[in-house]
Amino acid sequence: MLRTALAGAAQLDHHGFRIRSREVSRLEGLSDAVFGFAITLLVVSLEVPRTFDELVGLLRGFVAFAASFAVLIVIWYEHYTFFRRYGFEDLWIVVLNSALLFVVVLYIYPLKFLFSAVIGQMVGGATGVVPLQWIDGPALMTIYSVSIIAVFGLLAAMYAHAYRRRARLELDEAEVLLTRSNLRYYAIWIGIAIFSIALSHVGGPAWVPIAGMSYGLLGPLQALNGYLVGKRVSRMRASQAVGPVEALAG
């Protein structure tokens, strides 16, 4: 399976976090099936075009599909990373994981609708949805952002639970630091989603494009978070590697 192939034979992931689980558990197998079902829902409405105009319209729809697919893959990879790093499943993880899968399936419809409507407005022509009305903009942005809050809030809860169990999981200092970084990563997603909701409701339909563009802040904020934690982890790993050598020399 893809999870097993991605884990490979390395002992650390690309962030320097120890890989504690390589085998795909039943919970992960169920999760992959649900993610696959969610992807199926993205394409279930597509039909074979009968005319060139229908083909052009279908290709416009594929742009929305690609964007929605990319978001799903991001969520799946975060899910995959959690189980590879911590390798434990208790009742609380099962409950949170089940809630996450429910939200992912529910999230597909507003996700596909939003991308189809926005791309339809940008490129014109049919994309499979009725053209978006300005008055509906704040409500649509709220639905989408609430879905973001739910997805990344549940992932954050899973990481917070792992952080509470850090002694039992025997996380070293760098892994504790990376766990905190992941919690900030999700907090940034949630904070921008809340900010987007506030903008769309304070400014009304005229501010909906600004609310949507506020998600562009994710790039620099997440890059800064990754850069800062990367430097600290590198220094920490370097000191751990040098320490035993100095001890032997002494």
207's enclosing H/E stretch is none
Question: Average pLDDT, stretch 32-53?
Answer: 78
Is a pLDDT exceeding 50 seen at residue 246? no
Contact partners, residue 162, CB within 8 Å, separation at least 6:
82, 85, 86, 88, 169, 179
What is the pLDDT, as a whole number, of residue 121? 65
Percent of the chain with pLDDT over 70: 80
Angle at 69 between CA 66 and CA 74, to 5 degrees: 125
Q: Considering the entire predicted model, what is its pTM?
A: 0.83
* Mean pLDDT of the region 143-148: 90
Please give the average per-residue pLDDT across 180-205, as a whole number: 94
At residue 137 the predicted structure's pLDDT band, cuts being 50, 70 and 90, is confident
Q: Please state the separation of Cα 2 from the chain's center in Å.
A: 17
pLDDT given at position 114 = 78
Q: What is the pLDDT of residue 244?
A: 43
pLDDT tens digits along 1-41 = 565 556 555 677 877 788 988 888 889 999 999 999 888 88
Mean pLDDT of the 216-226 span: 93
Tens of pLDDT, residue by residue over 64-78, are 788 888 889 999 999
What are 56-63's contacts with CB under 8 Å, separation 24+?
56/125, 57/125, 57/126, 57/127, 57/128, 60/119, 60/120, 60/123, 60/125, 60/126, 60/127, 61/116, 61/127, 61/128, 63/115, 63/119, 63/123
Domain ranges of the chain: 2-241
58-72, 175-189, 206-220: range with lowest mean pLDDT:
58-72
pLDDT at 10: 67
pLDDT-derived band at 216 (thresholds 50, 70, 90) equals: very high
- Residue from 110, 87, 228 nearest 171 by CA: 87
CA distances from 201 to 34, 39, 78, 148 (A): 33, 31, 30, 17
With cut-offs at 50, 70 and 90, classify the pLDDT of residue 245: very low
Higher pLDDT, 163 or 249: 163
pLDDT band at residue 167 under the 50/70/90 scheme: very high
